[in-house]
Amino acid sequence: MKDKYYFPAVFGYAPGEEISVVFPDLGVASSGTDDADALSSAKELLGVTIFGLEEDGEPIPEPSRLNEIALDSNERAVLVEVFMPSIRMANVNRSVTRTVTLPAWLNALALENNINFSQTLQDALREKLRITPLHSAASGR
């Protein structure tokens, strides 16, 4: 797995429409309201697409060269870069929402004492599962 990937994207411009962004080598597309938004969307899409291929054990295709991309008069080829370590970590450490049931008196007492419910639950789960801080950082948990 590489840390950086560079893939060409085709930015398409049509009057009154968002800028379309297509990655011909990956078969995925996005859009943006202006050049900056389109580039941001392109980087995000490239990151999640490569991450998905990595997770599924699929091969990452070789990117085409910019000068090999066939363009219409309203299109521009842009080389998009993505830094994968931050994408991978964002997906490993993503949070999930859980609903818990507490007795009303315990909830009231915790609120009165400004208890952070999420942190308290995380701490209790780490203790119950015997997960040390070093272990949780290394494993992404």
DSSP H helices, the chain, are 35-56, 84-92, 104-112, 117-129, 133-139
- Grade residue 100 by pLDDT with cuts at 50, 70 and 90: confident
In this prediction the pTM is 0.65
- Say if CB 86 and CB 3 are below 8 A apart: no
Tokens of 105: 């008196």
pLDDT at 118: 85
pLDDT for 1 equals 83
**CA-to-CA dists, residue 65 to 9, 15, 24, 114, angstroms:** 11, 28, 11, 56
Res. 119: pLDDT tops 90: no
Q: Report the length, in residues, of the chain.
A: 141
Domains in the chain: ranges and CATH: 4-91 (3.30.160.250), 95-139 (no CATH)
Q: Is the pLDDT of residue 135 over 60?
A: no
Residue 107: enclosing H or E segment and its boundaries?
A: helix 104-112
Looking at the chain, the whole-number percentage of residues with pLDDT higher than 90 is 61
Tokens (6 digits) for 97: 């929402």
Closest CA to 77 of 86, 67, 92: 67
